[in-house]
């Protein structure tokens, strides 16, 4: 009987000496720059009763981490009531960060990611350790300094808020969604309407109509500027001052007498016009006469210019179409002649007339492409048979381009005159 009692006491003593069951946390820790973490982990816990009924007292432990290697055994965290470990990482002589561990029951080593939990609410009176053994829960918003005020200052969802729509802030400061059709355009006030609307259209590079002869001072724009203050008139590329160089009355540009445009001047105007519902912006809603007038004469036997139309930079763009009309007059019977029309550096046509060709006419078109243009032309005369040609031109137009008319006589004694020419840009 005594022997049995002794054996039972010995077994109980061995059980008590073995201590509570531990879970091993083993991991390799790195810093964000890829180097291994070196430092000290201070692990703090409150008193609790372990799963195997061992009484754990409030205490802390310090664990050294060298070369990133962490290995520590801890009693699994109790479930009811819950209690957690507070772990503070120290390195380079200062505190780096703090986190909370919930250690599970495990017969195999676990990693830090297996025990780390999102900041649990713990008893602040125990420096992070839950010594009361009471239940923990989420931190109330009112316990975080300034959080309630910051949340109140942010925009809230309005009654018209819905997913997949453009958002705007309504008059109450809440976020609503814009209503309307998917093809509508959005206004700055959060309303929507069909695109186009009644906004202003812009007219750029408008050529004022009127004779440029040094005496005429009245020119007419294609449209009436709206507002009138939006008009900008350029003379040979130089901006003219409204009320000083010219006055605007409706669509009429009236130059002062002292500033009457001279025959070699080029006039251009840019302005805004009132739009109409559903309209789209058009830079020149009507055909524009770029150049028109009479040319000069030649009596020489070498090719010479007898008229030209200089199209300013930035006026033409891909999709434009330019029409060219010209008429020649030949006087004398000594011999024939040759005439040519050029689009930049590209001849549109080149033909020779007989001495009996008193009158000659030509028509040409230039279809402006992304680069260069496609050209077509027709010509005929008193006896010169009708002819049509088509060609392509690589001449760049963005920096400006000249339509040139040239002529030469086979023998001196006759005269070849450019009677009239017109260059028109179509909308």
Percent of the chain surpassing pLDDT 70: 86
> Picking from 30-44, 131-145, 312-326, 350-364, which range would have the lowest pLDDT averaged per residue?
131-145
How far apart are alpha carbons 19 and 17 in whole angstroms? 5
288-426 is a CATH 2.60.120 domain: yes
pLDDT digits (tens, 9 = 90+) for 405-425: 999 999 999 999 999 999 998
3-state class of 313 per DSSP? coil
pLDDT digits (tens, 9 = 90+) for 50-63: 888 889 999 999 99
For residue 104, how far is the Cα from the chain centroid? Answer: 53
Please tell me what DSSP assigns to residue 382. S
pLDDT at 282 over 80: no
CATH 2.60.120 boundaries in the chain: 288-426
Instruction: Place 196 in a pLDDT band, splitting at 50, 70 and 90.
Output: low
pLDDT of 347 = 96
Instruction: Place 164 in a pLDDT band, splitting at 50, 70 and 90.
Output: confident
Q: Tell me which of 142 and 51 has the higher pLDDT.
A: 51
Instruction: Place 171 in a pLDDT band, splitting at 50, 70 and 90.
Output: confident
pLDDT at 195 over 70: no
pLDDT of 137 = 54
pLDDT at 394 over 90: yes
Q: Tell me which of 274 and 75 has the higher pLDDT.
A: 75
Give the residue-averaged pLDDT of 351-364: 95
Q: Which two tokens stand for residue 289?
A: 């006469």
pLDDT at 200 over 70: no
Instruction: Place 278 in a pLDDT band, splitting at 50, 70 and 90.
Output: very low
pLDDT at 13 over 80: no
Give the residue-averaged pLDDT of 211-227: 91
Mean pLDDT of the chain: 85
How far apart are alpha carbons 248 and 251 in whole angstroms? 7
Q: Give the CATH number of domain 21-126.
A: 2.60.40
pLDDT of 162 = 79
pLDDT of 235 = 93
Residues near 414 by beta carbon (within 8 Å), at least 6 away in sequence: 299, 330, 331, 332, 333, 334, 335, 337, 355
Q: Which two tokens stand for residue 320?
A: 């434009």
Give the residue-averaged pLDDT of 316-336: 92
> Picking from 135-144, 233-242, 341-350, which range would have the lowest pLDDT averaged per residue?
135-144
CATH 2.60.40 boundaries in the chain: 21-126
> Picking from 25-39, 87-101, 169-183, 348-362, which range would have the lowest pLDDT averaged per residue?
169-183
3-state class of 93 per DSSP? coil
pLDDT at 123 over 50: no
pLDDT of 76 = 94
Q: Tell me which of 139 and 292 has the higher pLDDT.
A: 292
Give the residue-averaged pLDDT of 364-389: 94
pLDDT of 18 = 67
pLDDT at 306 over 60: yes
81 preceded by cis ω (within 30°)? yes
Give the residue-averaged pLDDT of 74-80: 90
User: Residue 294 phi/psi, 5° resolution?
Assistant: -100, 155
pLDDT at 250 over 80: yes
Whole-Å CA distances, 121 to 43, 169, 236, 355: 17, 36, 79, 110
How far apart are alpha carbons 76 and 22 in whole angstroms? 6
pLDDT of 260 = 93
Report the largest interatomic distance among the alpha carbons of the chain, rounded to a whole angstrom. Answer: 159
How does strand 94-101 pair with strand 116-117? antiparallel
Question: For the CA atoms of the chain, what is the radius of gyration?
Answer: 46
How does strand 55-56 pair with strand 48-49? antiparallel
How far apart are alpha carbons 273 and 343 in whole angstroms? 32
Give the residue-averaged pLDDT of 348-372: 94
Which among 74, 73, 60, 66 is positioned nearest to 40, based on CA atoms? 66
Instruction: Place 132 in a pLDDT band, splitting at 50, 70 and 90.
Output: very low
Q: Tell me which of 359 and 142 has the higher pLDDT.
A: 359
pTM for the whole thing? 0.40
pLDDT of 127 = 41
Give the residue-averaged pLDDT of 157-162: 80
């Amino acid at each position: 009987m005594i022997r049995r009692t002794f054996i039972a006491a010995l077994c109980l003593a061995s059980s008590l000496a073995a201590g509570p069951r531990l879970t091993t946390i083993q991991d390799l820790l790195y810093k964000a720059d890829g180097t291994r973490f070196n430092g000290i982990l201070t692990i703090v816990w409150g008193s609790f009763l372990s799963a195997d009924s061992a009484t754990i007292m409030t205490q802390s432990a310090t664990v050294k981490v060298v070369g990133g290697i962490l290995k520590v055994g801890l009693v699994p965290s109790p479930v009811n009531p819950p209690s957690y470990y507070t772990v503070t990482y120290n390195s380079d002589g200062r505190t780096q960060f703090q986190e909370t561990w919930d250690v599970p029951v495990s017969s195999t080593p676990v990693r830090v990611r297996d025990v780390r939990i999102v900041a649990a609410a713990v008893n602040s009176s125990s420096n992070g350790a839950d010594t009361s053994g009471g239940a923990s829960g989420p931190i109330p918003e009112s316990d975080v300094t300034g959080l309630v005020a910051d949340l109140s200052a942010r925009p809230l969802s309005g009654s018209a808020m819905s997913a997949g729509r453009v958002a705007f802030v309504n008059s109450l400061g809440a976020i609503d969604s814009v209503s309307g059709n998917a093809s509508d355009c959005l206004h700055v006030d959060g309303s929507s309407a069909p695109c186009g609307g009644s906004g202003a259209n812009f007219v750029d590079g408008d050529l004022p109509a009127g004779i440029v002869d040094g005496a005429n001072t009245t020119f007419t724009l294609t449209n009436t500027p709206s507002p009138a203050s939006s008009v900008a008139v350029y003379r040979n590329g130089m901006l003219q001052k409204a009320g000083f160089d010219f006055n605007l009355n409706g669509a009429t540009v009236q130059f002062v007498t002292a500033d009457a445009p001279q025959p070699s001047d080029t006039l251009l105007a840019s302005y805004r016009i009132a739009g109409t519902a559903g309209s789209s912006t058009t830079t020149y809603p009507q055909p524009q006469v770029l150049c028109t007038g009479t040319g000069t004469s030649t009596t020489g036997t070498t090719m010479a210019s007898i008229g030209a139309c200089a199209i300013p930079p930035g006026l033409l763009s891909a999709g434009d179409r330019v029409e060219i009309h010209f008429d020649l007059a030949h006087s004398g019977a000594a011999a024939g002649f040759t005439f040519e029309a050029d689009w930049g550096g590209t001849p549109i046509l080149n033909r020779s007339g007989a001495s009996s060709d008193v009158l000659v006419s030509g028509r040409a078109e230039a279809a402006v492409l992304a680069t260069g243009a496609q050209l077509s032309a027709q010509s005929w005369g008193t006896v010169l048979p009708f002819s049509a040609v088509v060609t392509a031109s690589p001449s760049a137009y963005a920096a400006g381009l000249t339509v040139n008319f040239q002529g030469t006589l086979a023998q001196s004694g006759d005269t070849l005159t450019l009677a009239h020419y017109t260059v028109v840009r179509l909308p």
